[in-house]
Structure 1
Amino acid sequence: MKYAKHEAKGYARETMRGIWAAALNPFDDKLQMNEAGLRRNIRHWIDDLGIKGLFVAGKQGEFWSMSLDERKRNMTVAADECGDKAGTIMSISDQNVDTVLELGRHAQDCGADYVVVHAPMLSFVHDRDEVLYNYYKYLCDRLDIGIAMWSHPDSGYLMAPETCARIAELPNIMAIKYSVPREMYARLSRMVGDKILVSTSSEEEWLDNIEELGWQLYLCSSPPYLLQTTNDRRMDEYTELAFAGKFDQARRVRDSLNRVRDAIRSTKPGGKPTAHGKYWQELLGQVGGRVRHPMLELTQAEKDATKAAFEASGLKL
């Protein structure tokens, strides 16, 4: 651990800045983890794209399809490859709290910087505040590493800003990935101030959130390595312009990516987001690979349409 438990909030404020990406995991033709491919992707993301940190073994990484040992190995490989060049935040989310703790202890031991835990599914529960507070407190009492909350619709509900602000008082809660409507995350940002870092996965709202809410962290999804290449780092460019207060210039750069965003959006089948992301990676020269059940692979026709849109998107390879 690089900091004491009570220092988690301050350490995150100092070290979590800029663009952090959620890693897709490459699986080979036999659906085994392609460790060499993952390492190659990580080196490209850090060295060529300048990505500041990685969100590992999350929904983008298909964590639900992985064994406990695979999830641990995923964390270990990412922490090793990132070293001191980029930060790591490991998803230890699971419905079984003992699994969450086991993964959290492994994250501490393998050199991760932080962990993230999504809000659990709560069957038949309608008054969630006390349940959620005690859930995160239980984890905070037993782990020393900084913990980020994570609220998204897949849980079947969204954590209220007031609930999140209460949980933010716990000593090693240092951030939240808040996949909610903008009004909700803007309200939480105003409520917690500098106490924890608030972020969401929407790349298209990132610039506005820097300017209007004073955000310092994009946490995180796949756009940082799907919208950018070694020779075309416009997301990084508009981010740095915004951090420098040059918002008019930043907006021009951001808006110049609309053709790329439209190419991705218009060709992504509603039931195949992960396969589409991996195929787009392959078009970029990254390691994509297969998806695991229950996710579906792209058809050849879907690949052909995606490739045509990719080639017309204006990305510089």
Structure 2
Amino acid sequence: MNYSRLDAKAYARANMKGIWAAALNPFHEDFSFDEEGLRSNIRHWVDDLAIAGLFIAGKQGEFFSMSLDERKRNFEIAVEETAGKAGTIMSCSDQNFDTVIELARHAEAVGADYIVVHAPILHFISDQDDTVYEYYKAICERVNIGIAMWSHPDSGYLMSPELCARVAELPNIVAIKYSVPRPMYVQLKEMVGDNILVSTASEEEWLDNILELGWQLYLCSSPPYLLQTANDRRMHDYTQAAFAGDAERAKAISASLDPVRKALRGTRPGGKPQAHQKYWQELLGQVGGPVRPPLLQLTDAEREATRAAFEACGLAL
């Protein structure tokens, strides 16, 4: 690690910037982990698309279908392939607390920059704030690496801005991926100031969050490598224009992506997000492959509709 536990917040403010993407994990047709495919994708994302950081082994990456050894290997490959060219944040989310700590310590050991842990699913609990606070506190006390909170509806509740601000006071909490309605993350940003980095996964809200809220970090989802190619880096370009203060140029570039957004969003079956995104990757020349059970594969008709929309969306290959 490049920082101490007590320096984690300052290090993140100085270094956790720009577009960070959530990696899909490619699998072979027999559902084994395609390590070479992941390496190829990471090289493209970092070298060709200039993505600043990668979110590894999250929900997009189907961590829930992976063994503990596979998740650790996922971390190792990401660190090896980014090799100082991009940051890494490893998802250590799990319902088993010991697994969270084992993954967190492995992330530390292999040289990850940060980890992310989602708020736990809590059974029978209707007043979760103290439990969630103590959960993050216990993780913080057992590791030195910087930690991002992650609140999303899949947990069965959303962490309130007040709870997030309370957790943010822990020394090695550095960020939050806050998958909530905009008024909630605006309120949280006002409450925490620069104490932690606040972000959300919506690409369509990213530009406004730079211009209106002064955000420095997109953390993170798959659009950075689904909306872009080596010859068409409009998400990167509008981000850089916004960072430079050229709002009109940034807005114009972002608006030009609307047909691509519509094609990607409009062909995605509600029950098959990972399968759809992996097929879109394949259309872009990246490595996709099947999803693991119990997730469902695309039908031939769904693939054909996606291909037609992709070819008409105006993304330059």
Matches within 5 A, 1:202-241: 202-241=202-241
Matched, 1:135 2:135: yes
- Deviation readout 1:257-285 (Å, 9 max, x if unpaired): 00000001111001111000000000000
- Looking at structure 2, the residues matched to 29 and 190 of structure 1 have their Cα atoms a distance apart, in angstroms, of 47
> Could you state the TM-score of these two structures normalised by the residue count of structure 1?
0.99
- Deviation readout 1:197-253 (Å, 9 max, x if unpaired): 000000000000001111000000000000000000000000000001111110110
Q: Which residue of 2 aligns with 1:70?
A: 70
- Looking at structure 1, the residues matched to 73 and 9 of structure 2 have their Cα atoms a distance apart, in angstroms, of 27
Matches within 5 A, 1:15-26: 15-26=15-26
Q: Which amino acid aligns with 1:291?
A: V
- Looking at structure 1, the residues matched to 126 and 307 of structure 2 have their Cα atoms a distance apart, in angstroms, of 46
- Looking at structure 2, the residues matched to 239 and 37 of structure 1 have their Cα atoms a distance apart, in angstroms, of 28
Q: How much identity, in percent, do the aligned residues show?
A: 69
Matches within 5 A, 1:115-194: 115-194=115-194
- Looking at structure 2, the residues matched to 2 and 278 of structure 1 have their Cα atoms a distance apart, in angstroms, of 34
Q: Which amino acid aligns with 1:159?
A: M
> Could you state the TM-score of these two structures normalised by the residue count of structure 2?
0.99
- Looking at structure 1, the residues matched to 29 and 133 of structure 2 have their Cα atoms a distance apart, in angstroms, of 42
Q: Which residue of 1 aligns with 2:99?
A: 99
- Looking at structure 2, the residues matched to 192 and 126 of structure 1 have their Cα atoms a distance apart, in angstroms, of 25
- Looking at structure 2, the residues matched to 230 and 81 of structure 1 have their Cα atoms a distance apart, in angstroms, of 18
- Looking at structure 2, the residues matched to 131 and 266 of structure 1 have their Cα atoms a distance apart, in angstroms, of 39
- Looking at structure 1, the residues matched to 265 and 127 of structure 2 have their Cα atoms a distance apart, in angstroms, of 37
Residue 180 of structure 2 aligns to a residue whose secondary structure is: coil
- Looking at structure 1, the residues matched to 240 and 9 of structure 2 have their Cα atoms a distance apart, in angstroms, of 23
Q: How far off its partner does 1:189 sit?
A: 0.4
- Looking at structure 1, the residues matched to 171 and 293 of structure 2 have their Cα atoms a distance apart, in angstroms, of 38
Q: How far off its partner does 1:129 sit?
A: 1.4
- Looking at structure 2, the residues matched to 32 and 221 of structure 1 have their Cα atoms a distance apart, in angstroms, of 23
- Looking at structure 2, the residues matched to 130 and 222 of structure 1 have their Cα atoms a distance apart, in angstroms, of 32
Matched, 1:284 2:276: no
- Looking at structure 2, the residues matched to 86 and 287 of structure 1 have their Cα atoms a distance apart, in angstroms, of 20
Residue 229 of structure 2 aligns to a residue whose secondary structure is: coil
Residue ranges of structure 1 left out of the alignment (5+ in a row): none
Q: Which residue of 2 aligns with 1:10?
A: 10
Q: CA RMSD in A?
A: 0.5
- Looking at structure 1, the residues matched to 232 and 154 of structure 2 have their Cα atoms a distance apart, in angstroms, of 33
Matches within 5 A, 1:291-310: 291-310=291-310
Residue ranges of structure 2 left out of the alignment (5+ in a row): none
Q: How far off its partner does 1:34 sit?
A: 0.4
- Looking at structure 2, the residues matched to 83 and 7 of structure 1 have their Cα atoms a distance apart, in angstroms, of 22
- Looking at structure 1, the residues matched to 217 and 206 of structure 2 have their Cα atoms a distance apart, in angstroms, of 9
- Deviation readout 1:112-137 (Å, 9 max, x if unpaired): 00000000011111111111110000
Residue 19 of structure 1 aligns to a residue whose secondary structure is: strand
How many residues end up aligned between the 2 structures?
317
Q: Which residue of 1 aligns with 2:270?
A: 270
Residue 2 of structure 2 aligns to a residue whose secondary structure is: coil
- Looking at structure 2, the residues matched to 160 and 294 of structure 1 have their Cα atoms a distance apart, in angstroms, of 32
- Looking at structure 2, the residues matched to 23 and 58 of structure 1 have their Cα atoms a distance apart, in angstroms, of 8
- Deviation readout 1:64-123 (Å, 9 max, x if unpaired): 000000000011111111110000000000001000000000000011000000000111
> Mean alpha-carbon deviation: is it higher for 119-128 or for 180-189?
119-128
Residue 232 of structure 1 aligns to a residue whose secondary structure is: coil
Residue 101 of structure 1 aligns to a residue whose secondary structure is: helix
Q: How far off its partner does 1:289 sit?
A: 0.6
Q: Which residue of 2 aligns with 1:259?
A: 259
- Looking at structure 1, the residues matched to 76 and 154 of structure 2 have their Cα atoms a distance apart, in angstroms, of 27
- Looking at structure 1, the residues matched to 294 and 197 of structure 2 have their Cα atoms a distance apart, in angstroms, of 33
